[in-house]
Amino acid sequence: MNDDPLHSLTKDELLRYSRHILIPDFGLEGQKKLKKSRALVIGAGGLGSPVLLYLAAAGVGLIGIVDGDVVEETNLQRQILFSSMQIGNFKAEKAAERLRSLNPHIEIKTHQVWLNAENALAIFSDYDLIIDGSDNFPTRYLVNDACVLLNKPLVYGSIFQFEGQVSVFNYLTPQGDRGPNYRDLFPEPPSPGLIPSCSEGGVLGVLPGIIGSMQANEAIKILAGIGSTLSGRLFIFDALNFHSVTLHISKNPSLPPITRLIDYQAFCGYPKETISNQQEISPIQLAQLMISNSNFQLIDVREPYEYAIVDLGGIKLPEKEIDNHIDQISKDQKVVIYCRSGKRSADVISRLQTAYPFTNLFNLTGGVLAYIDQVDSSLSRY
Beta bridge partners of 95: none
* Cβ atoms of 102 and 57 closer than 8 Å: yes
> CA-CA distance, 96 to 114, in Å (whole number)?
17
The mean of the pLDDT values for the chain is 91
Q: Which pairs from 1-8 meet CB under 8 Å and 24+ separation? A: 1/29, 1/32, 1/33, 4/36, 7/32, 7/35, 7/36, 7/61, 8/32
For the chain, list the domains and their CATH numbers.
Answer: 37-267 (3.40.50.720), 273-374 (3.40.250.10)
Q: How does strand 361-364 pair with strand 334-338?
A: parallel
Banded model confidence at residue 196, pLDDT cuts 50, 70, 90: low
pTM over 0.85: no
The Cα–Cα gap between 262 and 270 comes to: 13
Kindly report which listed range (67-71, 190-194, 331-335) carries the lowest average pLDDT score.
Answer: 190-194
Could you report the per-residue pLDDT of 303-341, keeping only the tens digit for each?
998 888 999 999 999 998 998 999 999 998 999 999 998
Q: CA 369, 113, 109 angle in degrees (round to 5)?
A: 130
256-293 pLDDT, tens per residue?
999 999 999 888 876 454 444 679 999 999 999 999 87
Residue of 47, 46, 49 lying closest to 98 (CA atoms) = 49
Which pLDDT value is given to residue 5?
63
Q: pLDDT at position 3, please?
A: 57
Q: Which residues are catalytic?
A: 198, 339
Q: Which residue would you say has higher pLDDT here, 125 or 354? A: 125
Q: How many CB atoms lie within 10 A of CB 373?
A: 13
Per-residue pLDDT reduced to its tens digit, 215-250? 999 999 999 999 999 999 999 999 999 999 999 999
